[in-house]
């Protein structure tokens, strides 16, 4: 059961720049609170619009206990609905992905139009008004091909995010892509540990040999840990991107989001084992394969890489206090031909290995946090993005829990 006072007291114990108090990672009640305060409130990355290209294409996901279906209606508009029948609540679409001309509940076959309206409810009496029983909608926004979903009645404003990231991502023309591969990994760790793990590369040198063949582990152009060669690499690449009109300087996303273009190691072009291209057909109208990668993160559940030749989306959804689903999708140009322009194994093997390594790290992290000896520990300077994330998270939880009630003193 959610105890708002308990959450408020744990928040009061939190030290900025330190990992969170134990309960935030372990308690099932805290998982419920996270779902309410974060996942049922905020904008969540759901999928790319190219996954539901044609009318009737749909994709399902679960946000906490809420089954949701996202689909393209007959007019080509992206819509989201609670995937719960208005008769007696059965989940309607059971598959993760599919195409349907109408949504038919498997229980008693109520039939819904793609705009959510109830079309047919057999055997219901003559005075039954179908217009009262359409599917409950949820908010969706499509930004540079990315579908964001919000279950809140009044969603937070996304305009700053949209304005900041569009100049970075639009040149990659995500609306002209297709999914080359997707996978879902169930991780044995709290969702916040998955995000914390992703927000730093302090762990990369000892754990990610495949990733470091291409990725530069510094997070900022003026990273104080960056050696002279890194500064020189940045100067050369950014001069080239300036000439191409491609933005690179970090966007001002505060704690809410981050967007930056950073180079790969000298000579590397893509996330492949040898740093060579992953797809010979470049995205959009690009002719230069050496565009580094736009790294975009949005709290609470999404990070992405936009390269010259492919796009990778990562979507995090919590399943319980100690289990989290991570879905990864690799997109290539819609006209790229498998076996000719790209090889799925070559395209995906670096991040499949990296995801597995990160999953192991997060589960080991979760196990250690269970210790009676666990105390929040200090973030290193290179873990500054964890401070951003935990500050963002704490603010969401404070808004949910309110101020801690004064501890009651027993009357004498």
Q: DSSP state, 211? A: G
Choose from ligand FES, Fe ion, none: what does 90 bind? Cβ within 5-8 Å by kind.
ligand FES
Select 83 or 366, whichever has its Cβ closest to Fe ion: 366
> Of 143 and 204, which CB lies nearer to Fe ion in the complex structure?
204
Positive or negative CA dihedral for 409, 410, 411, 412? negative
**Closer by beta carbon to Fe ion, 196 or else 358:** 358
Minimum CB separation of residue 81 from ligand FES in Å reads: 13
Q: CB 124 → ligand FES: shortest distance, Å? A: 10
The count of C-alpha atoms lying within 13 angstroms of the C-alpha of 213, restricted to the half-sphere facing its C-beta, is: 17
For the chain, helix (H) and strand (E) counts, in that order, are 9, 16
Query: Which among ligand FES, Fe ion, none contacts residue 358 (Cβ within 5 to 8 A by kind)?
Result: Fe ion
Closest CA to 19 of 364, 363, 390, 382: 390
Give the binding site for ligand FES (CB under 6 A).
85, 87-88, 90, 105, 107-108, 110
Given the complex with Fe ion, which of 105 and 350 has the nearer CB atom?
350
CB contact at 8 A, 18 and 379: yes
The entry of ligand FES, Fe ion, none that residue 95 binds, CB within 5 to 8 Å by partner kind: none
Residues 322-381 that bind Fe ion (CB under 5 A): 358
Residue 178 binding target from ligand FES, Fe ion, none, CB below 5 to 8 Å by type = none
The two three-digit tokens of residue 358, written as one number: 């990160």
153, exposed or middle or buried, with CB in 10 Å at 0-12, 13-18, 19+? exposed
Q: Which residues are registered as beta bridge partners of 150?
A: 139
Q: How far is the CB of 125 from ligand FES (least distance, A)?
A: 15
CB of 65 to ligand FES, least distance (A): 17
Smallest separation, CB 204 to Fe ion (Å): 6
Residue whose C-alpha is closest to residue 275's, from 307, 312, 234: 307
CB of 362 to Fe ion, least distance (A): 9
CB 51 within 8 A of CB 97: yes
Contact 294, 136 (CB under 8 A): no
Q: Structure tokens of 132?
A: 């009262």
Contact criterion met (CB below 8 Å) for 193 and 366: yes
Q: State which residue, 133 or 384, has the beta carbon closest to Fe ion.
A: 384
Contacts with Fe ion: how many residues (CB under 5 A)? 1
Q: Residue 61 binds what, of Fe ion, ligand FES, none (CB under 5 to 8 Å, by partner type)?
A: none
Are residues 229 and 236 in contact, defined by beta-carbon separation less than 8 angstroms? no
Q: How far is the CB of 203 from Fe ion (least distance, A)?
A: 6
Q: Establish whether the linkage from the previous residue to 300 is cis, with ω within 30° of 0.
A: yes
399: number of Cβ within 10 Å: 10
Q: Which is nearer to ligand FES, 132 or 153 (CB)?
A: 132
Contact of residue 45 among Fe ion, ligand FES, none (CB under 5-8 Å per partner type): none
105 binds, among Fe ion, ligand FES, none (CB under 5 to 8 A by kind): ligand FES
Nearer to ligand FES by C-beta: 65 or 371?
A: 65
Using CB under 5 A, list all residues that contact Fe ion.
358
């Amino acid at each position: 059961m959610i105890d708002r006072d308990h959450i408020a007291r744990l928040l009061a114990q939190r030290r900025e720049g330190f990992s969170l108090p134990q309960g935030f990672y372990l308690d099932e009640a805290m998982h419920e609170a996270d779902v309410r305060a974060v996942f049922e409130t905020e904008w969540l990355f759901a999928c790319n619009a190219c996954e539901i290209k044609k009318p009737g294409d749909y994709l399902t996901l679960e946000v906490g206990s809420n089954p949701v279906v996202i689909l393209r209606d007959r007019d080509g508009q992206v819509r989201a609905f609670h995937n719960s029948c208005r008769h007696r609540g059965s989940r309607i679409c059971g598959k993760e992905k599919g195409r349907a001309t109408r949504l038919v509940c498997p229980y008693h076959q109520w039939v819904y139009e793609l705009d959510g309206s109830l079309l047919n409810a057999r055997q219901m009496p003559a005075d039954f008004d179908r217009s009262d029983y359409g599917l409950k909608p949820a908010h969706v926004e499509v930004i540079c091909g990315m579908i964001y979903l919000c279950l809140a009645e009044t969603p937070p404003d996304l305009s700053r995010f949209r304005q900041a990231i569009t100049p970075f991502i639009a040149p990659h023309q995500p609306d002209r892509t297709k999914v080359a591969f997707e996978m879902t990994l169930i991780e044995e760790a709290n969702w916040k540990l998955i995000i914390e793990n992703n927000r730093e590369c302090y762990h990369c040198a000892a754990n990610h040999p495949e990733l470091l063949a291409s990725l530069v582990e510094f997070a900022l152009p003026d990273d104080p840990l960056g050696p002279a060669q890194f500064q020189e690499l940045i100067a050369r690449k950014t001069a080239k991107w300036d000439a191409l009109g491609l933005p690179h300087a970090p966007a001002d996303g505060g704690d809410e989001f981050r967007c930056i273009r950073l180079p790969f190691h000298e000579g590397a072009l893509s996330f492949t084992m040898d740093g060579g291209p992953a797809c010979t057909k470049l995205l959009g109208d690009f002719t230069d394969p050496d565009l580094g990668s736009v790294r975009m993160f949005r709290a609470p559940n999404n990070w992405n890489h936009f390269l010259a030749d492919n796009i990778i989306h990562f979507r995090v959804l919590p399943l319980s206090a100690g289990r989290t689903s991570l879905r990864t999708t690799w997109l290539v140009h819609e006209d790229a031909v498998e076996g000719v322009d790209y090889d799925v194994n070559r395209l995906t093997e670096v991040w499949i290995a990296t995801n597995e390594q990160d999953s192991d790290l997060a589960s080991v992290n979760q196990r250690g946090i269970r210790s009676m000896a666990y105390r929040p520990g200090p973030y290193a300077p290179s873990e500054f993005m964890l401070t951003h994330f935990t500050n963002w998270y704490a603010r969401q939880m404070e808004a949910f829990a309110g101020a801690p009630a004064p501890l009651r003193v027993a009357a004498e």
